[in-house]
Amino acid sequence: MEGFDWVDARSKCSIGVAFQRLRAQLKDDVDARNAKRPEGAQHKFECITHGEFVTVLLGGNNIKQRSVVFKQTTRGINVLDDQDAVVLEATPTLNDEGVCCLDVRGQQREFWQFRRMALEKLFFETV
């Protein structure tokens, strides 16, 4: 990839840009998961955005409300559980192909992999 402008590519992979991208993808994930609910389901997922936070919420009749919170920080993106404990941290970076991805626990992950790590339990193990 001789001549690749990694500085430009990395500037387009800043924390703010990555969080905006993640925010849109989380909304799409919630819409997709709600579309897979059985007919007459008593639960629903919501995506609530508030500044540097995005909360994916599970609510409904006879269900304990649960949530996963994504928080933009000065270093990256944190995922918090219901007790506000950080369960995942991600930092935007470029992979060897020059694509914006997230460093999670020392491994480069695509955005969908990070979202799956954060949401799979809420989406598929709580209802």
- Over the chain (127 residues), the average pLDDT of each successive run of 10 is 92 96 98 95 95 96 91 97 95 97 97 98 88
Residue 1 within a domain: no
3-state helix, strand, coil in the chain (%, to 5): 30, 35, 35
Summary count for the chain: helices (H), strands (E):
3, 7
User: What is the C-alpha to C-alpha distance for residues 38 and 20, in angstroms, rounded to an integer?
Assistant: 30
**Quick one: pLDDT at residue 2?**
86
> Please, are residues 110 and 118 in contact by the beta-carbon 8 Å criterion?
no
Q: What is the pLDDT of residue 100?
A: 98
Range of the domain at 78: 6-124
In this structure, what CATH number is given to the domain that contains residue 70? 3.30.920
| Number of separate domains in the chain | 1
Looking at residue 126, what is its pLDDT? 77
